Chains A and B, each alone.
Chain A
């Protein structure tokens, strides 16, 4: 689903943020991307969404070389990705509902269908009662969940999350991890960056560790993940399984 081949990224400042990075993430797989601040986690995620372009090597998403995509093709790549940005990128000129609505407006969904989907996504992250609130009035954990709702409302097959538990205390962090696991269970491919060792401890989940732009360790995919590969074709999605009308 996601393949990095000898990918290097040097910023225009001359700093080499990624060096010869290679790894593969299977369809339906869930992995943590770890490393200290500055290790290159955000850069790696940005390369997947073609927000940044590599200087060498190739990034394949769904067998498509995204590093070679034309600018006009980028929107259609990004619509298949759910992205949770490290700096949230919420819009404070509109309420919670309208923040989640934006991806659907971009794809041109009609009003009724999009309202239904927005509510389903908000329900999934437990923010249904806050739909009229301005995100500025939400707590850190709620803002993070709002980001998740916006990322999944389009039902993407790949979810990228950049330090989604960054500034949250353990309880909130666990809550968010549970949400991600539920996506994993229905076959969504997830790559979650974190520098929080605590989340990793009790998980059997694959870890891709970055150190100064290089892959240090990449634990093998646990066998148990094989079954999830099968599930990726299921029509149900965590964002809607409860609210979809029969």
Chain B
């Protein structure tokens, strides 16, 4: 067991030495990997922050239902019953026009103006809290309520948040595409690095095969190399992001103060950092595996 570990460790050391055997090429490779990984990861981080911000500002979605001014008592009662029994409505709070005016006075400080109006221009209203809060069901529910006879106007309060959400979804898919493309690029980089290495070590591979090396034995140092290069590239990406955040911190604090918000940029979480490293190790390993695999299958004709 100890011996197997020691052997793995020495293979690992060999892989490490090979990465920096030609320091310039090694460092360039790692830089390319780091930048390629930091781009989608950084955008992902920004998206995550934007999403948090949207959620923080918008709160729970509600629909305001303004009734027609000429609604009769009878119609109002029917509506109340309808809303109360509706299976997609969690809560329907009635705001009488009188109460609405009081609230308006309180919240705007326009008491004098409103007093000057003479009679109350506000209609009776309901504040509806829907059960399903995804954009589609909200829109459906709003349309349905709009069609009710006593309803003058049904308004989705957090419509902008949903538009924002849709935009974020769009951005998320864009990041995903970018990440996939760059991942392919990383696999290609490792593939090629390993291909070049195999060329310089063709003799060793040939001889090893002739004297009893398994494919696994021949693969191992290259796989370690790929995984190791991926790991170091992943660490580079993490550092690039961390340093960028450091630079963004000060201007963001000013911005946040100006808008009287307590928004701060969250760094990569532990779990996300770990995923990043794991993913970059995996990509390097995969590139190496494909490269050696191709060589081995060619050797077997």
Chain A residues within CB distance 8 Å of chain B: 49, 51, 71-72, 74-79, 83, 85, 89, 91-93, 102-103, 106-108, 110-111, 150, 154
Contact = CB atoms under 8 A, between A and B. Distances in A.
Contacts, number: 51
Contacts of A110: 3, 6-7
Given A71-B300, A93-B204, A79 B212 contact: yes
Contact of A75 (B6, B7, B203, B213): B213
A102 B203 contact: no
B208 interface: yes
Nearest to B7: A108
Given A71-B300, A111-B6, A106 B203 contact: no
Contact of B210 (A72, A78, A92, A107): A78
A75 B212 contact: yes
A111 B2 CA distance: 12
B210 A85 contact: yes
A106 B212 contact: yes
A204 to B, nearest CB: 31
Which size bracket describes the interface of B in this complex?
10 to 19
Contacts of A51: 210
Contact of B212 (A72, A78, A111): A78
A150 B208 CA distance: 12
Interface of B is mostly: helix
Contact of B211 (A78, A92, A108, A111): A78
A24 to B, nearest CB: 24
Given A77-B212, A106-B212, 15 more contacts: A75-B209, A75-B213, A75-B214, A79-B211, A79-B212, A91-B207, A93-B204, A106-B211, A106-B213, A106-B214, A108-B4, A110-B7, A111-B6, A150-B211, A154-B212
A74 B217 CA distance: 13
Interface string B277-301: 0000000000000000000000010
A89 B4 CA distance: 28
B3 A102 contact: no
Interface in B197-220: 203-204, 206-215, 217
A108 B216 CA distance: 12
B73 to A, nearest CB: 88
Nearest to A80: B212
B248 to A, nearest CB: 48
11 contacts: A49-B210, A72-B214, A75-B212, A75-B214, A78-B211, A89-B207, A91-B207, A106-B211, A106-B214, A106-B217, A150-B211
B212 A76 contact: yes
Q: Can you list the 3 inter-chain pairs with the closest CB atoms, starting with the nearest?
A: A79-B212, A78-B212, A110-B3
B11 to A, nearest CB: 10
Given A85-B210, A106-B212, A91 B300 contact: no
Contacts of A89: 203, 206-207, 210
Contacts of B203: 89, 91-93
B6 A103 contact: no
Nearest to A106: B213
Count chain B CB atoms within 10 A of each CB in A71, A103, A106, A110 and give the residue with the most.
A106
Interface in B208-266: 208-215, 217
Contacts of B206: 89
A110 B1 CA distance: 11
Contacts of A107: 212
Nearest to B217: A106
A103 B212 contact: yes
B210 A83 contact: yes
A106 B211 CA distance: 8
B293 to A, nearest CB: 14
A12 to B, nearest CB: 10
B292 to A, nearest CB: 15
A83 B3 contact: no
A76 B207 CA distance: 15
Given A91-B203, A91-B204, A93-B204, A102 B211 contact: yes
B30 to A, nearest CB: 24
A107 B7 CA distance: 12
Contacts of B4: 108
B211 A83 contact: yes
A215 to B, nearest CB: 26
Contacts of A77: 212
